[in-house]
Amino acid sequence: MGSFIHHDLIAEKLEMARTLGLVTDYAIAAVGQARPPEASVRVWRNPNASNEAIKDYLVRLLAGLVAAEHIVMATPFVAGEAVADESAREAPAGGTAAAPVAA
C-alpha cells in the first residue's frame, strides 16, 4: 500500500452523504506519523439530524477507510443564529463597536 490516504474514495462517499442531505460540508485530512497515514474527516451535519445518527451512518459508510475515532462532528451552521449573532455585534449595549479577534 502507498503512503497516501484514499482521499478521492473518501470524498466520493462523503459526497453521497451530502447529496442525501445528511451533511452540509466536510474536510478530509491525514493524521498521525504512521506510514501510510490515517485519514481523518470533519463533517458538518444537517441541523435536522442527530450527531449519533450521522456518526453511525458515516462509520458504516467509511468502514475500512476512516477509523471511527477519526470522524469528527462539527457544530451545524444554522442561518437564523448567524443573523441574530451578527445583529448583536453591530449594536452593542455599551455603544462601542465590537472588534473581531483572530483565533
- Residue 19 pLDDT more than 50? yes
CA distance 23 to 102: 27
Over the chain, what is the mean pLDDT? Answer: 78
**Are the C-beta atoms of residues 6 and 39 closer than 8 Å to each other?**
yes
Q: What ranges do the domains of the chain cover?
A: 7-90
Distances (CA, A) of 31 to 22, 83, 86: 24, 35, 34
Percent of the chain with pLDDT over 90: 50
- Report which DSSP code applies to 50: -
Q: Could you please state the CATH topology (level 3) that the domain comprising 7-90 is classified under.
A: GMP Synthetase; Chain A, domain 3 (3.30.300)
pTM of the shown model: 0.67
**For 48-87, what is each residue's pLDDT tens digit?**
988 999 999 999 999 999 999 999 999 876 655 544 444 4
